[in-house]
Chain A
Amino acid sequence: MIYYIYDGSFEGLLTSIYEAYYRKDNPLKILSINNYQRELLVEYIHIETVPEKAEKVYNSIRKKISVKTLQNVFYVYLSEFDDIGTLIYQYLRYGWKIGRNVDLHISDDRVSTIHNIRRKVTREIHFMLGLLRFKELKNNIYYAEYEPDYNITALIAPHFIERLSDQNWVIHDIKRGIGVLYNQKEWVVKDINLESDLEFSKDEIFYQRLWIKYFDSIAIKNRINPKLQKSNMPMKYWKYLVEK
């Protein structure tokens, strides 16, 4: 019984899939070094990440299966669920066998599992496009903090680059200590470590108060329905909302 261990990166995962094919090891699992526990009777092989090999797999998914499959793989990788390496490996093996129509085989478990995880990630992305809240700092930077379940910061950034293109802003994933910084021209993904407290602009609190007032006024009192509110807007996202 062989398990592959990769370094946790996307390239690492793709390299493992490359090796699985070319070494003909047929590994039972592909696990990230960040979360696995040793089991008895298992041979662990550490895979060294090689960008060229990862790129071959990347291009092969694109050409021999489809761009949609490639997206599915990347989104599922970002979900950071346990054992996604193995799930992706099985999904791709099936994909190379079936070809570009693999995503229509929704009655197959390998496909439907991947689709379900992707749906969760997509759903969170869509939520965050709406629920992210920027606060204006003294130095004219708009700062947003949040704690997404999945590692989606790089996926939501392009939306805000298009939309708030004339603004300096930061999106900070507190949970992972990373963020996107944008200066009206370029954007980067970086580790972020806040050392001092943030200072808000003089208008910031004023607009927060206005928003809270609006939020309270717009609800129809005869229709108050906290259950519906919670089912539409899960409470786990309330922490960083100005109005809640």
Chain B
Amino acid sequence: MEILDKLKILADAAKYDVSCSSSGSSRKNTKGGIGNSHISGICHSWSDDGRCISLLKILFTNYCIYNCKYCVNKVTNDVPRAAFTPDELAKLTISFYRRNYIEGLFLSSGIINNPNYTMELLLHTVKKLRLDYNFNGYIHLKAIPGANIEIIEEAGRFADRMSVNIELPSDKGLKLLAPQKNMNSIFTPMGQIDSKIIENKYALQRYRSANKFVPAGQSTQLIVGATDDEDFTILNLSESLYNKYHLKRVYFSAYVPVSKHPNLPDISTPPLLREHRLYQADWLLRFYGFTSSELLDKNSPNFDIDFDPKCNWALRNLHLFPVEINKADYEMLIRIPGIGIKSAKKILAARRFGPLTYDNLKKIGAVLKRARFFITCQGKYYGEVGIDENRIKKSLLMDSSKQNNNKKQGEQLSIFSLYPSLAPVENHLIEIGEDFK
């Protein structure tokens, strides 16, 4: 089979894995080698679905012994099958990299023969890239559940990030759609990689020459909408993954109907808005100091489609508002709808040199359309409607319907969460030196 056909089949089969991040690693180039990684990641293109392309995201093979009902590669599916050789894949990666098409490789695979055999093939490929081709770009590698820990550990020494996909957020869902898997078989490699990462951290503190193990950490993916699991279940699970296994990211993938089965929901379009709300909530967990039980509970286990999770939280906690912009501490500032991490930091910095006015806030980049209902500036309230749940809701909805009419539907769905996270770019830019004078 021609490389071109293999590429088509195996990229096509890999695309439902949403992670494409190339951030979190700062691997340096070696002498005579090729590549390095950029701590905040770099997007190299955006595909027609609007998602960032950063890594060559591809399966080693789409042959698979499993029959997970939600998966396009399940053994009973009648699709063309292909497999790369480690050499073909390494050469392809390098050739793309030299042309600046990609930031590195994201390698996953269907299970061929058995988990160990598959993991060996992946290991062989990354070793070839790192050792034979001196490749120092980003590598994201799947750990195959059920493979021996020794093989996974060795692979971790060559990868920047590893991930094990949970896919279905509860045991019940797994039984229904992927009866050959169970939660335990997924958490085992996750736990092993995690303890290895922690061990490696101590080793690096003591011996600076120690080899790095999975420096960009672990991630995983949960499918949203293939089972009847509620947002609360999904968010609780991701919270515990962050706490217990120190994951860097939990990705959510709106279920795309790839095949029909009585156990699968019958939908025509993926639940994109729900996915978006979960990402917003995920951000609140990771950067804004929220806990999942503040955002949702048993009585309201799903997110409101009309309001983002932070707005929703604020509307249910109006007794905390309005907040005086010139007095509130950082923790409270970032809880105000319409004020993000960046704006909050700028507010703190600017406050040192005098009180802020409503106009100043605009310049700082706060979204006043939302924030104005929840704040005062030097004692003055600009929300007009007062601290009243229904009246605020009404105004917010009016604003967003105005916006939708202008922009047509669907555009508010910025999938910002699929970027390689943009850490402060400025830190990594070149200092002005003699050359530029």
Interface positions of A (Cβ within 8 A of B)? 10-11, 54-55, 58, 67, 70-71, 74, 101, 104-107, 112, 122, 125-126, 129-136, 142, 144, 154-155, 158-160, 162-167, 203, 207, 209-211, 213-229, 231-233, 241-243
| Residues on the A chain within 8 Å of B103, using CB | 130
Task: Report how far A129 CA is from B43 CA in the complex, Å.
Answer: 8
Given contacts A220-B16, A232-B46, contact A104 B34 (CB under 8 A): no
Most buried by A among B11, B36, B54, B410: B11
A165 touches B29 (CB 8 A): yes
The answer to whether residues A129 and B15 also contact, given A70-B432, A154-B436, A213-B8 and a CB cut-off of 8 A, is no
Contact A229 B46 (CB under 8 A): yes
B1 at interface, CB cutoff 8 A: no
B3 near A10 (CB under 8 angstroms)? no
**Contact status B4-A241, CB under 8 Å:** no
Task: Give B42 Cβ to nearest chain A Cβ, in Å.
Answer: 4
- How many contacting A-B pairs (Cβ < 8 A)? 192
Whether the Cβ atoms of A243 and B364 lie closer than 8 Å is no
Q: Which residues of B contact A159 (CB under 8 A)?
A: 38, 430
For chain B, the count of residues having a C-beta within 8 Å of the partner chain is 73
**Selected A-B contacts with CB under 8 Å, 22 pairs:** A55-B437, A122-B426, A130-B45, A130-B54, A130-B100, A135-B99, A155-B430, A159-B38, A159-B430, A213-B11, A215-B45, A217-B8, A220-B49, A220-B256, A220-B270, A223-B254, A223-B272, A225-B49, A225-B410, A228-B49, A229-B47, A232-B50
Known contacts A126-B42, A214-B11: does B363 contact A112 (CB below 8 Å)?
yes
A211-B96, A222-B270 known; A217+B353 contact, CB < 8 A = no
A222 and B12 within 8 A (CB): no
Q: How far is the CA of A71 from the CA of B29 in the complex (A)?
A: 26
B390 at the interface (CB under 8 A from A): no
Contact A107 B356 (CB under 8 A): yes
Q: Is the CB of B349 within 8 A of A106?
A: yes
B75 CB–A CB distance under 8 Å:
no
Q: Tell me whether A163 and B36 are in contact (CB under 8 A).
A: yes
Q: For A211, list chain B residues within 8 Å (CB).
A: 96, 99, 101
Which one of B156-164, B228-236, B305-313, B411-419 is at the A interface?
B411-419
Indicate if the CB atoms of A104 and B3 lie closer than 8 Å. no
- Chain A CB within 10 Å — which of B29, B101, B431 has the most? B101
Contact at A107–B354, with CB atoms within 8 Å? yes
A142 and B16 in contact (CB under 8 A), knowing A106-B364, A215-B53? no
